[in-house]
Amino acid sequence: MPYKDPNKRKESTRNYYLKNRDKIIAKERLVYSRNTEKKKQYGKDYYQKHKIPKIFPTDNQKRYWESLKGKKPWNWKGLTPENKRIRNSIDYRLWRKSCFIRDNYICQKTGISGGYLVAHHINNFAEFPELRFAIDNGITLSLKAHKEFHKKYGMKNNTKEQLEEFLQA
């Protein structure tokens, strides 16, 4: 018989549990012991696979996602582990922050303060490893100015003369 009063329903559920507590606990223990027996019999992996069904993508979905990835260019080398390690290091972060502080968080090309700023290496990062963390080898540029610089002069063989010419223009 359904109860119209929710408090009565709670009371009846609570009373049922209190009366049949031993049976409920025993049933839970039985289920637990059966599952542990299955684990012993079939192994942990079997039990996990059958307990929680997982939805795996179909072959069509896999092919679709693979087609979206595309191919990398013939000359793609990716981030080398050394390069990735250096750019995520504490020294690199300190160098970047010290360049910002020295330039007072102002883009040296446009004079804009704030926004997205980039610490740019004056002499190329790859060709001058001894100057990677030298504060004198860094300059603060806005993201727009930084992209403009690399569009004009390319990503490699950047020198101080190119930067001076870029800042004067």
pTM: 0.53
The total number of structural domains that make up the chain: 2
The pLDDT assigned to 1 comes to 47
Domain that holds residue 118: 86-168
Q: Phi and psi of 144, rounded to 5°?
A: -65, -45
* CA pair distance 121, 134, nearest whole angstrom: 9
In a domain, 124, yes or no: yes
Q: Is the pLDDT of residue 96 over 80?
A: yes
Asked if residues 136 and 99 have their Cβ atoms less than 8 Å apart, the reply is no
Say whether both 48 and 90 belong to one domain.
no
Say whether both 97 and 149 belong to one domain.
yes
Confidence of residue 81 (pLDDT cuts 50, 70, 90): confident
Say whether both 144 and 93 belong to one domain.
yes
